[in-house]
Structure 1
Amino acid sequence: MSRFTPVDLSLYPISDVIEALDFESYLARDRAEFTTRWEARRVTNPALPPIDTLLLESDPASVVMEVGSYRETLLRGRINDRVRALTLAGALGRALDHIGVTYYRTPRREIVPAIGATPAVMEDDETYRQRLALAPESWSTAGPVGAYLFWALSASGDVLDVAAYSEDEGVCLAPRIRVVILPRDALTVDQKAALLVTVQDALSRIRLRPLGDLVTVELASDLDFDVTAHLKIRQGASAAIVVAEAEKRVRQYCSGRLRWIGDDVPGPIWLIGRRMRQATIAAAALGTDANVVEVSVPDPAGDVNPPDPGYTEAALAGVGSPAFVPLADPITAHLFKAPRLGNVSVTYELVAESWS
């Protein structure tokens, strides 16, 4: 009953080679070493002064050690960056292109083709990274779900999201495969029709799929929704900043991104068939902001795109048996919908809440 989800690279550590940088520990180590060596010199030359100002920032020896520790921090950081650039989870830009082409034989997609002197707009690092993680799925000759997702996403830069369903989801009888795509925004009706043909052609080549699969490609239906949240904010906090950050977190969750690295870095999209829970939206608005005491939503039970009550494990228990009959379209309708966020309204009130 769960849609196939590719590995989320953000959940795994890159490598034990990556070190946590700690300037203060380097400085403390160097001070201890300096003290040991200086006292050893004083044993042979008692005329040397004792160390009693080493922790003062004005002491020349302290300044020299701070410079050395700072340079060591920079050097270790550069080594960390070089190691990250060798991994699929951490590579960026050209380093990611190199990994994609040499190890996965998968170049970056064009989102907008080059026109004259205007260079092409290529897919962003996070979307490309997640597609590369899917690439090994396409190497199988058995036609796994991940293979359909990979080839559909690779067919065109206008494909924003893909889902593939068959008998396991109760929507049709195998060997029929229903591939659902979500086009990028701003495509015209004619462009969407052409995109369907492009993806259908990509999935119908004999070299890409088992001959027994009957593949059809269709468009996901947009499910527009708005979000309203009310915050209780501690007195003394900047309400405008808190509200803006809460709205940003809500948009991040509701955009359907699987992962993102750093601030404002978009990732791959997962919207088709997704259920947007009001409780999770409220949790996103709350985040880890200590200035937010409480978040409420108008209708906690009003989840966006919930499954039909008839879409249960019991209803799918007969999958694979000769007697199994696909479920009625209304029962599986949620699998073909893509929640699309509209307006976000975040209101607030200030409350006198203690920090204890």
Structure 2
Amino acid sequence: MSRFTPVDLSLYPIADIVEALDFESYLARDRATFAQRWEARRLANPELPAVDTLLLESDPSSVILEVGSYRELLLRARINDRLRALTLAGALGRALDHIGVTYYRTPRREIEPATDASPAVMEDDETYRQRLALAPESWSTAGPVGAYLFWALSASGDVLDVAAYSEDEGVCLAPRIRVVILPRDGLTAPEKAALVGTVREALSRPRLRPMGDLVTVELASDLPFNVTAHLKIRQGASAAIVKAEAEKRILQYCSGRLRWVGDDIPGPVWLIGRRLRQATIAAAALGTDANVVEVDVSAPASDVNAPHVDYTEAALAGVGDPGFVPLAPAVTAHLFTAPRLGAVTVTHELVAESWS
């Protein structure tokens, strides 16, 4: 009943590689060093005046020290950024291309070909990063689940999400492998049918598919849903800002996008077979915003794409036995379903709540 879990780079944040940047500590250190050296000069030349105005912003010496500390801050930040660009989690643009080609032998995909009027549209950084994290799985044949995901995602830029299921999930008998794809938005029915053929062909190449695997490719079923959340916001807070941030967090969770690096940077999409819990939607709306006192989610009325009540460990206990019979399609339907977020409505009321 488990599904392959890709590496989530958000669980491994990139710390400051040199050190945490702290302008005030640099300035305090330089002031102390300056005062120490100046006093040493005064011992040799008592006529020099005492320096007791370094903490005043109007003092010329203080201004010079601030400039030096700020330049050090910029230099350390630049070094940190350059070193982050050498990591899979932190690289962007050309740096990520370099990592992908040299370390993973995986170039960026072309989503739309170039025309006379516009250049080619290439795979975005976060989707490319997702495939690179899966790339080691592809170094085997397509036997591992991760390898099926990698090669299906790599087959076309129109593939938004992929899931691969075998007998372990109770949906079929070995050696059948069922690959489910979610197309990008905007494709017509003929284009979706062609995409299924493209992915099937990519996974059927002899150098990829194990000899014993019978691979089928199918489209995921969309499960549209809307979200309606009501916030109780503390008086004095900007309701417009609080609501906008809550809506952004709801969109991030319900669209299946995970943040890998940095705020406001979309991550990979994992929607097929995913269960979106009503309680987690409320928690996403709440976030860590101290201005939100309470959240009530009236839609969806329950969890989205919840497993069938008969999809249990006991039902899968016979997997691998010669007499195992695949579960009924209705019992495993959630594995082939992709929740698709529609409208998000966030309302609010202001409440008098103590800050203590």
Q: Any idea what SS the aligned residue of 2:312 has?
A: coil
Using the TM superposition, name which of 127-136 and 141-150 deviates more: 141-150
Aligned residues of 1:56 and 1:62 also touching (Cα < 8 A): yes
* Separation in structure 1 between the aligned mates of residue 258 and residue 215 of structure 2, nearest angstrom: 26
Counterpart in the other structure of 1:312: 312
Q: Deviations over 1:230-262 (max 9, x none)?
A: 100011111122111111110111110132433
* Separation in structure 2 between the aligned mates of residue 304 and residue 63 of structure 1, nearest angstrom: 59
* Separation in structure 1 between the aligned mates of residue 159 and residue 272 of structure 2, nearest angstrom: 12
* Separation in structure 1 between the aligned mates of residue 343 and residue 137 of structure 2, nearest angstrom: 37
Deviation of 1:307 (Å): 0.2
Aligned residues of 2:226 and 2:300 also touching (Cα < 8 A): no
- Gaps spanning 5+ residues in structure 1: where? none
Q: Any idea what SS the aligned residue of 2:331 has?
A: helix
Deviation of 1:300 (Å): 8.1
* Separation in structure 2 between the aligned mates of residue 200 and residue 270 of structure 1, nearest angstrom: 20
Give the AA of the match of 1:183.
P
Q: Show structure 1 runs of 4+ deviating over 4 A.
A: none
* Separation in structure 1 between the aligned mates of residue 333 and residue 218 of structure 2, nearest angstrom: 13
Using the TM superposition, name which of 110-119 and 28-37 deviates more: 110-119
Aligned residues of 1:18 and 1:83 also touching (Cα < 8 A): no
Counterpart in the other structure of 2:233: 233
* Separation in structure 2 between the aligned mates of residue 52 and residue 318 of structure 1, nearest angstrom: 82
Counterpart in the other structure of 1:343: 343
Q: Where in structure 2 are the equivalents of 1:169-248 lying within 5 Å?
A: 169-248=169-248
Q: Where in structure 2 are the equivalents of 1:48-127 lying within 5 Å?
A: 48-127=48-127
Counterpart in the other structure of 1:166: 166
Counterpart in the other structure of 2:330: 330
Give the AA of the match of 2:354.
S
Q: Deviations over 1:142-197 (max 9, x none)?
A: 61000000000000000000000001111001110000000000000000000000
* Separation in structure 1 between the aligned mates of residue 302 and residue 209 of structure 2, nearest angstrom: 40
Q: Where in structure 2 are the equivalents of 1:261-280 lying within 5 Å?
A: 261-280=261-280
Give the AA of the match of 1:224.
P
Counterpart in the other structure of 1:290: 290
- Gaps spanning 5+ residues in structure 2: where? none
Give the AA of the match of 2:68.
G
* Separation in structure 1 between the aligned mates of residue 298 and residue 22 of structure 2, nearest angstrom: 45
* Separation in structure 1 between the aligned mates of residue 258 and residue 206 of structure 2, nearest angstrom: 31
Aligned residues of 2:153 and 2:160 also touching (Cα < 8 A): yes
Deviation of 1:301 (Å): 6.4
Quick check: 1:155 aligned with 2:155? yes
Q: Deviations over 1:203-237 (max 9, x none)?
A: 00011121110000000000000001110001111
Deviation of 1:44 (Å): 1.4
Residues 131, 118 of structure 1: alpha-carbon distance in 2 compared, 3 angstrom cutoff: same
* Separation in structure 2 between the aligned mates of residue 37 and residue 6 of structure 1, nearest angstrom: 56
Residues 18, 189 of structure 1: alpha-carbon distance in 2 compared, 3 angstrom cutoff: farther
Give the AA of the match of 2:346.
V
Give the AA of the match of 2:74.
L
Root mean square deviation of aligned Cα: 1.4
Q: Deviations over 1:3-61 (max 9, x none)?
A: 21210112114467342111111111111111111111111111111121010001111
Count of aligned pairs: 356
Give the AA of the match of 1:209.
R
Q: What's the TM-score, normalizing by structure 1?
A: 0.97
Q: Any idea what SS the aligned residue of 2:332 has?
A: helix
Q: Where in structure 2 are the equivalents of 1:136-151 lying within 5 Å?
A: 136-141=136-141, 143-151=143-151
Identity %: 84
Q: Any idea what SS the aligned residue of 1:40 has?
A: helix
* Separation in structure 2 between the aligned mates of residue 100 and residue 59 of structure 1, nearest angstrom: 51
Using the TM superposition, name which of 57-66 and 44-53 deviates more: 44-53
Q: Any idea what SS the aligned residue of 2:130 has?
A: helix
* Separation in structure 2 between the aligned mates of residue 300 and residue 200 of structure 1, nearest angstrom: 35
* Separation in structure 2 between the aligned mates of residue 61 and residue 128 of structure 1, nearest angstrom: 50
Residues 292, 67 of structure 1: alpha-carbon distance in 2 compared, 3 angstrom cutoff: same
* Separation in structure 2 between the aligned mates of residue 261 and residue 99 of structure 1, nearest angstrom: 16
Q: Any idea what SS the aligned residue of 1:330 has?
A: coil
Q: What's the TM-score, normalizing by structure 2?
A: 0.97
* Separation in structure 2 between the aligned mates of residue 106 and residue 316 of structure 1, nearest angstrom: 37
Deviation of 1:201 (Å): 0.2
Q: Any idea what SS the aligned residue of 1:253 has?
A: helix
* Separation in structure 1 between the aligned mates of residue 325 and residue 301 of structure 2, nearest angstrom: 31
Aligned residues of 1:124 and 1:267 also touching (Cα < 8 A): no
